[in-house]
Amino acid sequence: MNPPTYDSSIVHIDIANSTIESLGYYFPRRYYAQVVSVLSKMEFSAIAFDILFAQKVNMVDDSLMVASVREANRVYLPVAFSLENSRGKPFAKSKQAISFLDSTSWRLRANAENNFYFAGTTLLSWPDLVKASRGVGFISVRPDIDGVYRRVPLLIRYKGDYYPSMIMRLVCDYWKVSPDKISIDTKRQITLHDAIMQAGKKIDVSIPVDENGNMLINWIGGWGAMRHVGFIQLLDVAQDREEIAAYKDEYAGSIGLVGDVSTGISDTGPTPFENNFPLVGLHSNVLNTILTRQFLQSVPEFIMTLIEICIATCIAIFSMQYSSVKFTTASVMLVFIYLVTASLLFIYMGVIVEIVRPLMLGGFAVTAIVASRYITEEKEKEKLRSKFETYFPPSVVKQMIDNPNTLSTKPHKQEVTVMFSDIKSFTTYSSTKSPEEISATLNEYFGVMTEIVFKYGGTVDKFIGDGLMVFYGAPEPQSDHALRCVKAAIDMQRKCAELRAKWEPAGRLPLRIRIGINTGYVVVGDLGSTQRMEYTVLGSDVNLAQRLESNAPVGGILISESTYLLVKDFVRTKKLEPIHVKGLEKPIVVFEVLC
């Protein structure tokens, strides 16, 4: 937003370093009297002091200042109140001060109760001086929670009435608005009725304020953005009529704000434009905001609450509708749209929408949802990992979890090597054993067999009673799937020999298994119903592997010719007599792997 229009009739009268160097820090008050006189001759319409003259110092100089202020009849002086949140009696050491404040307070039309500040402890210039002035108003302000000055109260409650700020009293005199033409309405506005503009036109000026009566300052810019005249500069021309006439041509009708801006003063603070801004400039910015009627208005708290609820609702909807990436993108776009809307409202309508709080809310909501999703997804991944690890080797499971798109489970035709194994006479053995013994035996057996299958990168298709179905070459492509399968079968027979040597002396199962292996093109992928899917293989070559297992010698491995052709250079085999299998007319050429 471009800086607001600057009313060039507002002029700072600076007590700067040059003034202190010429006059000393505590210079006599006759110099103030001379400056007031000079400004009056230059036809300044109003002169406002941001300086408290709390005590008399020198009878002669004090008298000169009182006389000059009375003669000018355009000087406004400050009063400092502590701004209280609860009602109490204004306190001042001088009863004369309280009496004067009582007589200069305003009785206004307030349409409803409000939360304007109450006047507390008081500090006022000495009685003769304030009585000689055109008006007195408070200069007390509170910074925002971050210490930056952005707003000022225009009215505070004083006993049963109200007391205006120094700028508010000055403006009302400038526009000829008496207290009976000022109202405070329920829309959080202070309205000056029948304000007389320079062209003589009467208008109502409504000033938006917050619940405490604070007006947002539409800052002109930094300290250098305003017009300035040096205090010492005015003293230098005090006796020169021609110079005064020249200044009059330039400054007639202006409003002067006199303040100490010398190095080392304590009356400074941070503003949106500068960290160490002389606070007399705060009053000139307030004056400029009112005179140019370029008001800023903050969105009421209940509307901001509704906006925040809408933002939270949108983020919740995004979380239910979109994936993590789309959710994050949509949330960022929502924040971007909010920031753009807030900027446009500020630029074109002077409406200030909260930025930090909604962004913190949105950021917290997005972070919480993303974190929740991450935790949920990790739990789901862990469940999938646990499920897959019963079928696939850990390396394949990791790949499936980390890159689910790299391994396809869509049904397709592919060459694989299928293995079936079966325990000899297990039915007879199990008929004499308890369920617990049977379960313990099978669990131990399948545990070591599965470990061997995974060692060579195989996939456990299913457990069929005491039988095991395994295949190699999917889902992870393996150019040597036949050799892997045969090597696994050899290790399985060796492991069974070890288990048998351990179990038989203990009266357990005399473990002996048959293994059949075949290589061929099968349908592989997720197969089943909508209620239950299973990653498996189907086809005549699967059936042949099962037939080979039933014809295999006990403790042996029987492989088909297709498997033999792929492994003959790597393992020892013995050709057997062709066998007849169910479903095939021609005998099948088979080989036994020599373990």
SS3 string, 138-192, reads ECCCCCCCCCCCCEEECEEEECCEEEEEHHHHHHHHHCCCCHHHEEEECCCEEEE
Q: Which residue has the tokens 């699967």?
A: 542
Q: pLDDT confidence of 332, banded at 50, 70, 90?
A: confident
List, in sequence order, every residue forming a beta bridge with 163; answer none if it has no partner.
156
CA dihedral 29, 34, 36, 41 (to 10 degrees): 170
Q: Percent of the chain beyond pLDDT 90?
A: 61
CA atoms within 13 A on the CB side of 210: 19
Task: Please give the distance of CA 578 from its chain centroid, rounded to a whole number.
Answer: 75
Going by their DSSP bridges, the two strands 182-185 and 109-110 should be labelled as: parallel
The pTM of the whole model exceeds 0.75: no
Question: How far apart are the C-alpha atoms of 42 and 226, rounded to whole Å?
Answer: 19
Q: Which residue has the tokens 């209620």?
A: 531
- Greater pLDDT, 145 or 373: 145
- Greater pLDDT, 378 or 478: 478
Q: pLDDT confidence of 325, banded at 50, 70, 90?
A: confident
CATH of region 402-593, choose from 1.10.10.10, 3.30.70.1230, 3.40.640.10, 3.40.50.2000: 3.30.70.1230
Query: Could you read off the pLDDT of 491-525 as tens digits, one per residue?
Result: 999 999 999 999 999 889 999 999 999 999 999 98
- Greater pLDDT, 396 or 577: 577
510: number of Cβ within 10 Å: 13
Q: What is the pLDDT of residue 396?
A: 56
CA triple 226-230-233, angle to 5 deg: 140
Domain definitions of the chain by residue range: 10-297, 306-388, 402-593
Amino acid at 1: M
Q: 241: burial class by Cβ within 10 Å (0-12, 13-18, 19+)? A: exposed
- Greater pLDDT, 201 or 320: 201
> Whole-number mean pLDDT of the chain?
88
CA triple 142-143-147, angle to 5 deg: 150
Residue 266, classed as helix, strand or coil, is: coil
List, in sequence order, every residue forming a beta bridge with 558; answer none if it has no partner.
516, 592
